[in-house]
Amino acid sequence: MHVARNRRTYVARSGERRVYESVLVRRTYRDGGKVKHETLANLSALPEEAVAAIEATLRGQRLVPATDAVTIAGSLPHGHVAAVHAMAGKLGLAAVLGPACRERGLALALIVSRVVAPASKLSTLTWWADTTLGADLGAASTDEIYAAMDWLAARQDQIENRLAARHLGPEANPARMALFDLSSSWLEGTCCPLAARGYSRDGKKGRLQIEYGLLTDAAGRPVAVRVFPGNTGDPAAFTEIVQVIRGTFGLAKMVMVGDRGMITSARIEALNQQEDGTPLEGEDAYGWITALRSPAIKRLMAEDGPLQMSLFDQQNLAEITSPDYPGERLVACRNPVLAADRARTRGELLAATEKLLAPIIARAAAGKLTGAGQIGIAVGKVISKYKTGKHFTVTITDTSLAVERNQAQIGAEAALDGFYVLRTPIPASQLDAPGVVTAYKNLKYVERDFRHIKADDLDLRPVFHRLEERVKAHVLICMLGCYLTWHLRRAWAPLTFTDENPPTPADPVLPATRSTPAAAKASRQHDQTGRPYRSFRGLLDHLATFTRNQVRFAGARAVVPMLAEPTSTQREAFDLIDAPIPLTLK
C-alpha cells in the first residue's frame, strides 16, 4: 500500500486556473500481467500532518510521540551575549585587555555583561548562570570576580595605551584631535577614599560622589577614563589627562577640545610649559579649542570692541581678533534658534518666580508677615529656586515687600542670548572657522557617551564599591562597555532608530538635524518588510529570545547543543557585525 497524490488542473470560463489534489491510499497488484491500483481510502479531507504520518507508516518508518523522540534537556538565552561577544572578538578587545588567562576571561565577561544586562557584580554573577555566557565561561566565585577587577585595574594604562594608539594616533586621527569632559556619579556608603561632596551633574545635591573624565577621539569613541575625588574641579582633571596623553600615551602635537570651564586661561598657560617654566615647542606643544565665558564676551561686545551685531547680518559666524588674546583666533557664533529658546525659557522662569513670590507679597501686605528679617527669610526660600534672583529688585521693610523686575539686568543678559565665542591657536590653514565650530560642538559626542555610561546602556551609577581600586575598575569596565556599545550602535543602525547617515549641516552653528531616512524610520516604525524598528536596548532584548538548546534524542544518553532557528532580525544583527552565529562563546 502507498499514498498517491493526484493533481488535476481546471480552467474556469473566467480564465482562472484552479488546481485540485486528491490524496488516496491505494493497493497496487498484478492481474494477468497488468499492474492495477485499488483505492482503499480517500485522505483528502484529513489534515496534512495526519496524511504525512500515514504516508511515513506505510513506508515502514516507526513513529513515536515527539516528546519521546526528542527531549529538550535545557535551554538558555544565547543571542544577546553571543552578538556582543562576537563584536568584542571583531574589535580584538580580549587582546587589548592583556594576555590570555582566567582573569582576562572573567574581565571580558564582565564587560559583555555590562552591555547586555548592567547590574551589580553579585547580581551579574547570578545572572551568568541563566545565559550561555555562564555556561561557556564556567563557574566563578565572588573572589574570582574581584580578583579579575583588580587585574583589570592594574592594567588600565596598558589597555588605554593600546586604544589611544589605535584611535588617537596620527594614522587613525590625522587631525590629532581629542575630546575631554568631566562628569560625576553618586556613591552608596561613606567609606570610599574618593567619595566627596561637590557639584553634582546628576542633580543629587549633598550626596557623596566621584568624578570621572572621559577622553574620546573626534567621533566620540571612548579611549581612556580617569577617576577623581568628588570635589575635583574641571581644570585639575584637564591637567591630569594632558599628562596622561603626553606622558603615558606618548602622543605629540595633539589638539585638545574642552568646554569653557575645562580649558581656562590658567590651564592654557600651563598646557605648554615644562616644570621649570620654559615653553614647550615643536611637536611637544599642544593646541586647544575652548570657549570664552560670558564676562569675556561682554568685553568683546563693548562699543569699541571687535564683536558687533553687524557681523551677523549675513552669516551666523565671524572670525575676529582681539589684543586680549594675542596669537589666538576668535570665532564668534550666533545661534538664532538658541537665542529664541533662551529668551522663552527666561520669560517662563521669571513668571514662575513671580508666582512663588505673590503669596509672600500678599501676606506682607495683609500684615500676616512682618519684620524685615522674617520677610527676607521667606523671600530667600523661593527667589533662588529657578536661579532668577539676579533679575529682581527686592525692597523689604518691616511692614512691606516690593518686588520688581530688573529690566537693565535682564536686557544685559538677553544681549548675549545665542552668542558664544570660541578661541584656539590652531592656524586657519590647518582648521578653518567652520571646522573650529564643528570640533567644539563635537563635545556633544562625549555627552552622549556619558548618557550611555550613566543611564541608557551601562548604569554606572550608583557606585557600590568602597575600595578605591575597585571603584576605578568599575568605571573602567563601564568605559570599555561604552567602547563596545559605540561600535554596536553604529553597526546595528539599520535595525534601530539610529540615524545611519546624519547630514552635514551647511551652517555648523545651527542645530543638527536628522536625515530624511531617519525621520521616515521614526514615522513608519517598521521597515519595508514589516519588521519593527527597535531601540538599541530593545534589539538586545529581542536577541535574548534566540536560545541554545540541549537536545537529547530517543535512545541516546548524550545531549547535543543545538541553536534555535533565528528570526530574520536576529540573523541580520549578526550579519551586520560580520560574524556567524556561534554555537559557543569559547
Task: For residue range 243-297, list pLDDT tens digits in order.
Answer: 999 999 999 889 999 999 899 888 888 888 877 777 777 767 899 999 999 899 9
Is 387 a domain residue?
Answer: yes
**Quick check: is 366 in a domain?**
yes
CA distance 6 to 17: 17
Identify whether 523 is part of a domain: no
pLDDT of residue 254: 93
Q: Same domain for 149 and 271?
A: no
My answer on whether 24 and 85 are in the same domain is: no
What is the number of structural domains in the chain? 4
Predicted pLDDT at 468: 95
Give the pLDDT score at 283.
67
User: What is the pLDDT, as a whole number, of residue 435?
Assistant: 94
Is 429 found in the same domain as 300? yes
437 and 295 in one domain?
yes
* Distance, CA of 459 to CA of 472 (rounded, Å): 15
**281, 198: one domain:** yes
Q: Cell numbers of 133, please?
A: 555566557
Q: Verify that 141 and 184 share a domain, yes or no.
A: no
Cα(250)–Cα(284) distance, rounded to whole angstroms? 10
Please give the pLDDT value at position 515.
93
Confirm whether 225 is domain-assigned.
Answer: yes
Last residue of a domain, one of 379, 414, 449: 414
Query: What is the full DSSP assignment across 556-568?
Result: --S-EEEEPPPPH
**Residue 66: predicted pLDDT:** 65
User: Within a 10 A sphere around the Cβ of 202, how many other Cβ atoms?
Assistant: 15
What is the pLDDT, as a whole number, of residue 67?
Answer: 65
Exposure string for 487-520, b = 16+ CB within 10 A, e = fewer: bbbebbbebbebbeeeeeeeebbeeeeeeeebee
C-alpha 561/C-alpha 584 separation (Å) is 9
Final residue before a domain boundary, out of 414, 432, 453 = 414
549 found inside a domain: yes
| Helix extents (H) in 117-233 | 121-128, 132-137, 142-154, 156-167
Whether residue 258 is found in the same domain as residue 190: yes
Q: What is the pLDDT of residue 15?
A: 77
**Within-domain flag for 527:** no
Are residues 192 and 105 part of one domain? no
pTM: 0.85
Measured between alpha carbons, how far is residue 285 from residues 164, 274, 431, 437 in Å?
A: 18, 10, 17, 22
Sites in the chain below the pLDDT cut of 50:
none
Q: Are residues 209 and 264 in the same domain?
A: yes
Boundary-marking domain end, from 414, 431, 457: 414
Element (H, E) at 380: helix 372-383
Please return the burial class of 379, using the count of CB atoms within 10 Å of its CB with bins 0-12, 13-18 and 19+.
Answer: buried
From residue 226, alpha-carbon distances to 93, 107, 471, 474 in Å are 19, 19, 11, 11
Range of the domain at 458: 171-304+423-466
Q: Is residue 515 part of a domain?
A: no
Q: Yes or no: say if 397 and 371 are a contact pair by the CB < 8 Å rule.
A: no
| C-alpha cell, 139 | 563557574
* pLDDT for the residue numbered 415: 87
Same domain (yes/no): 252, 398: no
* 294 phi/psi in degrees, rounded to 5: -55, -45
Residue 52 and residue 77 share a domain:
no
* Residue 160 belongs to some domain of the structure: no
Per residue, the 3-state secondary structure of 216-250, as one string, reads: EECCCCEEEEEEEECCCCHHHHHHHHHHHHHHHCC
Phi, psi angles (nearest 5°) of residue 496: -120, -175
Q: Residues 191, 264: one domain?
A: yes
